[in-house]
């Protein structure tokens, strides 16, 4: 099997799971308990929180709230930050943000959507034009999960604050954490990350927040996570996240370069007469979005699956919405016919050149055969 749907989820890092296994079977205690074993786990969580945060932020300026994943982190940011006036976001957001702001709209909050450029990045000038003195929150994705377009969130955040210093700035960083090199700046208020995109296990993520930022809890109960997110912490998943992040950041530059080379091989091996490349050369190398010419993406996905090639047709989190065309792809200005053939090929450091070349050859054959049948 050749797995090229890593933007949806990566295979868990076996070494990290082995290292964290004791938190399932031995150190299974409640980290909020007062007895010694529980307090020991409380310290383990403190260390995990500090290390996961340290890769992208200064822990003197930022803190970290563990959540059940990127979706919950996004929802907490939006529902706790978008409380008044208007909320500004983009047409390129993950469904965790897009559907959350539409719920805010149902609750009486005005929501404004910024246009996208052809590669899926936000039209910054249009975004800024939507912000006024009543804007309570602005949410901009760091790396577009369908096209891989990278938004310069640091420059964007600085411009947002220059226009309205009271507006909270939230960034969905799920496809950036553990893949790109960066540090959060003072203009970022909230930042969402997820474990299973970098070799951790599903069901664990985090919302990073400015330390002096006041937000209300999203989930109420026992007051865990400094009162911001109640519920007994999943120590096993959190430790897997810590270990996976440590492993990924130890080789971040080499992994990025490997992904860049694999992306280049894919781009070069897919036949130009059969595929249109959507992702720009400046996109995250971990995501390559293409469109088969005249053949439905879903048809190709199933035939590729039969051949042992696992790929995506866009955001996996949107696949349950029964919509034929991706709203993000359409927002890039792509016509319905082209959008119907979109495929997302996403990479991880564990992929090989042989795998991606084989996948490209199989995809060329699948689409070529389909076009011959239709001719």
**pLDDT tens by residue, 43-62:** 999 999 999 999 999 999 99
CB neighbour list of residue 265: distance below 8 Å, 6 or more residues apart: 353, 356, 357, 360
φ, ψ at 186 (rounded to 5°)? -65, -20
**pLDDT tens by residue, 77-118:** 999 988 899 999 999 999 999 999 999 999 999 999 999 999
Collapsed DSSP state (helix, strand, coil) of residue 341 = coil
Using CB atoms within 10 Å of the CB of residue 235, give its burial: 0 to 12 exposed, 13 to 18 middle, 19+ buried: buried
Q: How confident is the model at residue 374 (pLDDT cuts 50, 70, 90)?
A: low
Mean pLDDT of 224-232: 89
Q: Are 354 and 370 in contact (CB under 8 A)?
A: no
Is the pLDDT reported for residue 246 higher than 90?
yes
- Which pLDDT value is given to residue 214? 87
| Other beta carbons less than 10 A from residue 355's beta carbon | 18
Pairing of β 2-3 and β 309-310: parallel
- Which pLDDT value is given to residue 82? 86
- Which pLDDT value is given to residue 319? 52
Tokens of 68: 């059940």
Mean per-residue pLDDT of the chain: 94
Mean pLDDT of 179-206: 98
Mean pLDDT of 209-237: 91
Q: What is the pTM of this model?
A: 0.95
From 39-43, 70-74, 103-107, 190-194, the region with the lowest mean pLDDT: 39-43
Mean pLDDT of 58-75: 96
């Amino acid at each position: 099997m050749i797995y090229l749907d890593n933007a949806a989820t990566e295979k868990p890092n076996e070494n990290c799971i082995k290292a964290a296994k004791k938190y399932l079977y031995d150190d299974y205690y409640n980290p909020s308990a007062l007895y010694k074993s529980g307090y020991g786990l409380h310290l383990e969580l403190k260390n995990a929180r500090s290390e996961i945060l340290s890769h992208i932020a200064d822990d003197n300026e930022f803190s970290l709230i563990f959540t059940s994943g990127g979706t919950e982190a996004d929802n907490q940011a939006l529902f706790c930050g978008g409380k008044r006036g208007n909320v500004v976001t983009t047409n390129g957001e993950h469904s965790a943000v897009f559907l959350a702001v539409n719920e805010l709209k149902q609750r009486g909050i005005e929501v404004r959507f910024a246009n996208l450029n052809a590669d899926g990045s936000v039209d910054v000038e249009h975004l800024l034009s939507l912000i006024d003195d009543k804007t309570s929150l602005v949410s901009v994705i760091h790396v577009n999960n369908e096209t891989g377009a990278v938004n310069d969130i640091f420059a964007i955040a600085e411009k947002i604050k220059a226009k309205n210093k009271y507006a909270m700035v939230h960034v969905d960083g799920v496809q950036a954490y553990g893949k790109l090199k960066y540090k959060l700046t003072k203009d970022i208020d909230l930042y969402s990350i997820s474990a299973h995109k970098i070799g951790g296990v599903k069901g664990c993520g985090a919302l990073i927040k400015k330390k002096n930022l006041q937000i209300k809890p999203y989930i109420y109960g026992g007051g865990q996570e400094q009162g911001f997110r109640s519920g007994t912490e999943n120590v096993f998943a959190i430790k897997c996240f810590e270990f996976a992040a440590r492993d990924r950041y130890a080789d971040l530059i080499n992994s990025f370069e490997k992904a860049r080379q694999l992306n280049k091989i894919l781009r070069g091996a897919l036949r130009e007469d059969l595929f249109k490349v959507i992702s720009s050369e400046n996109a995250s190398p971990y995501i390559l979005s293409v469109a088969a010419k005249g053949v439905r993406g879903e048809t190709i996905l199933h035939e590729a699956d039969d051949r042992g090639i696992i790929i995506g047709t866009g955001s996996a989190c949107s696949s349950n919405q029964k919509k034929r065309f991706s709203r993000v792809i359409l927002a890039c200005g792509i016509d319905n016919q082209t959008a119907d053939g979109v495929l997302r090929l996403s990479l991880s450091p564990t992929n090989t050149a042989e795998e991606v070349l084989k996948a490209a050859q199989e995809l060329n054959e699948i689409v070529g055969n389909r076009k011959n049948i239709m001719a």
